[in-house]
Amino acid sequence: MVWDRKIAYVNLSTGTVSKKPISRKIRELYLGGRGLNMYLLYNHLKPNVDPLSPENLLLVGSGLLTGIPCLGSGRCDIAAKSPLTGAVGDSNIGGFFAPELRFAGYDHLAITGKADRPSYLMIKDDSIEIKEASHLWGKDTFDTQKIIRREEDDENIVSLVIGVAGENLVRYANVRTGMKNAAGRTGMGCVMGSKNLKAIAARGTTPVEFTDPDKLLTYCREMNDMITSTRWAKAQSRWGTMIIYSNTNTTGLIRTKNFQLNRLVDGEDLEPENIDRYSVGTSGCYGCAVHCRHRYVLKEGPYAPLYGEGPEYTSLGAFGTMLDCRKMETILVANHLVNKYGIDTLETGGLIAWAMELYEKGLIDDKTTDGIQLTWGNEEALFELIRKIAYREGFGNTLADGFKAAIAKVGADSEYYAIQIKGMSNLHSDERPTPSFALGIATSTRGADHLRSRPAIDMYGLPGDMLKEIYGGSVATDYSSYDGKSRMVWWQELLYAITDSIGVCKFQTVFCAVHAPKWQEFSNLIQLVTGMKISKDKLMEIGERIYTLERLFNLREGFSRKDDNLPERYFTEPTPIGLPVARNKKIDRKKFEEMLNEYYELHGWDNQGVPKTETLRNLNLDKEPSKLL
């Protein structure tokens, strides 16, 4: 049964491993994946721990539904205290690692300490061994996976790995698996590097028994049919998340030249259909019927031959619109480089775009940048800075520590141009015309974030009665309105907390598709898999518990209402171009504060964002840390 999957506590300093079962009680409170990781982080990490110290806790968790044949059920959650922000560090990754970990008998790993030399974990059917990895240190993320499979003589081994960026403690280094999958945000690769942990490899052959396998298989077919019948999934199957660019750039909802424009004029080469020039097919994650990512080959140019997967919509912005780079080949090369070195796409692009605007305005010069001319559209400067960041060379070393440290080094005048929240760079989207999106990035527990709460269906102009049915309250149909948008953000936060805890893909829920699986479908799947009957209301309560626990963690680390804010430019600079619906827009400060108050109230927090005593009691959080696991 699913209950047979265990948690393993690994101490890299002592080399000890202990294993415990995960009780039904803790499952009913947190499910698995992100939920259980947040519980463990809050319970086992002391306040004010240095994220790069051996005391930081690295958590790896599969979802409660990991391994079922639908909804991209291969998601894995990786968590720790973030070395980039000092807040909740948490990132979700697709691919095939989480199912392999579960097949080996484990759902969660809790890793502390620091190995005295480069090491990796090898997990094979209940056996966990800490192995020497000095020969892997310095290898890129692609070669590391190949070498481990070859040395273990097993092509079915799946690994989470770091690249040189993680080894060099770049604070937004990511964790990678396969050709494309990345736990990109909040610097989990940096935490692995600080522990001398190059990789976590898994191979499992232990069957996972489900409560009602026959009905589960039938229902999974229904779920796959439900999602693949949506217009969103059909478009995503053809062009991946790049399809979003066609709409947002045309409208004027994309950051360009850092934050100076909101549309890339003459950006036709970044339209998703142009990937066809390089594509050799598409692929998907475990349990996915959508297959949203292209496999591409560059046969010409200085970086050829080059094989990669993607790019995501985020890469089009990070290496295209924000830098005023307008060629698809530029995106493909940069996408390959950050994947090879193991660095977060968004953070890398956001910091380089910031530096380019500083360079344009004369706040930094060639002396600061090691002679690199950071002019808009300079793709060679982009490629060289990616390398310098990964190896912490020169100006790259300044950028490698993220916005907070970089601003301190460059000067206080540079902070105004930094599009970041809580120390983390924002997506390349421009939220000035969309108050719901703006509130979401401001309040996210991770920092500026489009994956914690974004209600993308706000862009569709849906009828009010449909929105009321979905969100359980009045929501304005106009995406530029402030009315009811706090409810959308709150609702999506709870849904995504559950999505990350059961281990399915957000893009196969109510993210960009209205008629995608949500609460009731999740409830049905949980019962067929585990036998637990968890209603929609109970799932929403679990989502609230998870998000409130993350809030408690951040409060304990010194964050408060003042950090739930936007960069000043959102309030002072109107959008200059785009369609009329997006032009001349900025966030109204008074209305934003009113939205924030409404958002806190929906969560049951006071007007400073502190959970009320009654809320904690209702969520069974009043006795945390409880040390149940």
Can you give the residue range of the structural domain that contains 613? Answer: 435-618
* pLDDT value for 557: 98
Cα gap 625→219, rounded to integer Å: 38
| Closest CA relative to residue 516, chosen from 90, 72, 76 | 72
* pLDDT value for 117: 98
- Sheet-wide strand order for 197-203: 127-132, 119-124, 197-203, 158-161, 175-177, 181-183
For residue 127, the domain's CATH number is: 3.60.9.10
Does residue 624 belong to any structural domain of this protein? Answer: no
Same domain, 345 and 273: yes
Structural contact between residues 450 and 430, judged by C-beta atoms closer than 8 angstroms: no
Q: Which residues of 573-588 are buried (b: 16+ CB within 10 A; e: fewer)?
A: eebeebeeebbebebe
Q: Which long-range contacts (C-beta less than 8 Å, at least 24 apart) are formed by 407-411?
A: 410/358, 410/363, 410/364, 410/368, 411/363
Residue with tokens 């994309």: 254
Same domain, 394 and 454: no
Structural contact between residues 611 and 621, judged by C-beta atoms closer than 8 angstroms: yes
Structural contact between residues 403 and 349, judged by C-beta atoms closer than 8 angstroms: no
Does residue 418 belong to any structural domain of this protein? Answer: no
Same domain, 150 and 259: no
Cα gap 78→37, rounded to integer Å: 8
Same domain, 581 and 470: yes
Task: Name residue 512's amino acid.
Answer: C
For residue 517, the domain's CATH number is: 1.10.599.10
Does residue 417 belong to any structural domain of this protein? Answer: no
| Closest CA relative to residue 497, chosen from 459, 550, 535 | 550
How many domains is the chain built from? Answer: 3
Q: Show Cβ contacts of residue 278 under 8 Å, excluding neighbours closer than 6 positions.
A: 294, 296, 297, 298, 328, 329, 332
Same domain, 276 and 167: no
Give the end of a domain, one of 411, 446, 466: 411
Could you tell me the two tokens for 413? 């005048």
Structural contact between residues 350 and 401, judged by C-beta atoms closer than 8 angstroms: no
At residue 323's C-alpha, the angle toward residues 317 and 326, to 5°, is 75
Does residue 166 belong to any structural domain of this protein? Answer: yes
Give the end of a domain, one of 377, 411, 445: 411
* pLDDT value for 300: 87
363 — phi, psi (to 5°)?
A: -80, -20
The residue ranges of the chain whose pLDDT is under 70 are 1, 3
Does residue 218 belong to any structural domain of this protein? Answer: no
Does residue 322 belong to any structural domain of this protein? Answer: yes
Could you tell me the two tokens for 167? 């080894």
Q: Which residues of 445-463 are buried (b: 16+ CB within 10 A; e: fewer)?
A: bbbbbbbbbbbbbbbeebe
Q: Which SS3 state, helix, strand or coil, does residue 478 take?
A: coil
Same domain, 548 and 601: yes
Distance of CA 158 to the CA centre of its chain: 20
Same domain, 239 and 310: yes
Helices (H), strands (E): how many in the chain?
Answer: 23, 17
Q: How many CB atoms lie within 10 A of CB 142?
A: 18
Residue with tokens 């969560």: 603
Structural contact between residues 394 and 345, judged by C-beta atoms closer than 8 angstroms: no
Same domain, 185 and 237: no
Using CA atoms, how far residue 605 sits from 97, 551, 602, in Å, is 37, 10, 8
Cα gap 429→449, rounded to integer Å: 11
| Closest CA relative to residue 352, chosen from 378, 326, 330, 329 | 378
* pLDDT value for 551: 98
At residue 349's C-alpha, the angle toward residues 345 and 353, to 5°, is 175
Task: Name residue 434's amino acid.
Answer: T
Cα gap 166→347, rounded to integer Å: 14
At residue 158's C-alpha, the angle toward residues 221 and 316, to 5°, is 75
* pLDDT value for 207: 87
* pLDDT value for 537: 97
Does residue 610 belong to any structural domain of this protein? Answer: yes
Same domain, 444 and 576: yes
Q: Which SS3 state, helix, strand or coil, does residue 184 take?
A: coil
Q: How many CB atoms lie within 10 A of CB 43?
A: 15
Could you tell me the two tokens for 225? 């049919």
Give the end of a domain, one of 411, 445, 466: 411
| Alpha helical stretches, state H, 392-484 | 395-400, 402-410, 435-443, 464-471
Relative to beta strand 6-11, strand 106-112 is parallel
How many CA atoms does the CB half-sphere of 629 hold within 13 Å? 27
Q: Show Cβ contacts of residue 213 under 8 Å, excluding neighbours closer than 6 positions.
A: none
Same domain, 440 and 585: yes
For residue 348, the domain's CATH number is: 1.10.569.10
Could you tell me the two tokens for 330? 């530029």
Does residue 427 belong to any structural domain of this protein? Answer: no
Same domain, 265 and 320: yes
How many CA atoms does the CB half-sphere of 169 hold within 13 Å? 9
Same domain, 64 and 145: yes
Cα gap 489→269, rounded to integer Å: 33
